[in-house]
Amino acid sequence: MIASDSPSSAISEADRRVVEEARRVAEERLWPRAARYDESASHPLESWADLWERGLLAAAVPKAHGGLGLDMPAYVMVIERLAYGCPSSAMTLHMHSVVQRFIDALATREQKERFYPEVVEHGKLFASWGSEPGRRGGSHAPRRAVVAPVDGGYAINGVKHFCTMAGAARRCMVHCAMDGYDGIEGYQLVLAPSNAAGITVSGGWNTLGMRATVSPTVTFEDCIVGVEALLGEPGDAMRVGVTEGFGLGYAAVYLGAAQRALDYTVEFCKTNRVSPDPDLLSRNLVVQRSVAEMSMALQGARLALYESADRWQAADPSSRRVLAARAKYMASHASQSATSQCVQTIGGRSARKDMPLERLYRDVRTATLMPPNVDASLEIVGRAELDVE
């Protein structure tokens, strides 16, 4: 099971109840459906409904607007526990929640009064689309998708890859470059209705893992939105320290999924034997060593994640980038290693579709490819340690 929060990650009793509710819905609702959504590569609509009914779609919506207003320590615990039930459901909630934090940081009062009720009262999800063809990296990379002023509003043109929740989200936060600006000074977020004219979803979503995130390619061709769709002024989005939170939530997803794989492996070893050995697998010294390595690796990465979350509120955007990179790297390494060892420990039968290990292994291997990748994460941390800008 996922370890309790670390001593440095003390959270309020109210937030502790939210974390416990996330654990409960993950176990009772998300886990029983996870294999079905994976097989069909379809949106986890029933699971989203469960999250909304329990207030978790509004985890990052401020309390003043009817949400839970979770701070980062409680938030990563919620995401980790949901991933223990269904990594794809947890990942989609995380992407949606980052959008809510951008709204809080950048939106006007009128925009907040328009957008937040769609989440809190109607259970709608908001997507974040930043990746582009031919580019490595996430929303920090320069944009090819352009938003430009036109008569009646603004026009979006460009192509986005890995558009999570395409076809199901109410709105999509498109990472763009404002026409006429150079570099990141023109970085502009546009919160467009997903049914707006000029948006075309193309290609399927038949991937190794994270199949229920449903993240195909989307093309914008003269997609017209009003001024109310723009979040902040050009360049603002890079200054508020929200983008960096993507990596912290990713780490929580990886650890939740890997912990589920380890717990399954432990229970299997407690109740199964391999002929001709008469003892349970749990009595095997090699198995004991392997389980110890996996458990300690995940716990170490979890402590790094919780420490980053504890330090988040007081950190500036540059420091947050390092905190997120460190947590994501450690979670990526520990989760990939643990899920691979789980498969090796149980052996050939773990590849069967009626056992969850192969799905959890695929989900972790796929999700850890998200930016910043392990090389970029090491570069971020290394530059910080060496005081290189």
Count how many residues are written for the chain: 389
CA 211-251-295 angle, 5° bins: 100
Distances from the Cα of 346 to the Cαs of 142, 290, 349, in angstroms?
45, 11, 7
pLDDT (tens digit, 0 to 9) for every residue of the chain, 389 residues total? 776 555 445 799 999 999 999 999 999 999 999 999 999 999 999 999 999 999 999 999 999 999 999 999 999 999 999 999 999 999 999 999 999 999 999 999 999 999 999 999 999 999 999 999 876 554 455 458 999 999 989 999 999 999 999 999 999 999 999 999 998 899 999 999 999 999 999 988 999 999 999 999 999 999 999 999 999 999 999 999 999 999 999 999 999 999 999 999 999 999 999 888 899 999 999 999 999 999 999 999 999 999 999 999 999 999 999 999 999 999 999 999 999 999 999 999 999 999 999 999 999 999 999 999 999 999 999 999 999 98
Regarding pTM above 0.85, the answer is yes
Structural domains of the chain ordered from first start? 7-125 (1.10.540.10), 128-234 (2.40.110.10), 245-385 (1.20.140.10)
Quick one: DSSP state of residue 206? Answer: -
Q: Which phi and psi (to 5°) does residue 231 adopt? A: -100, 110
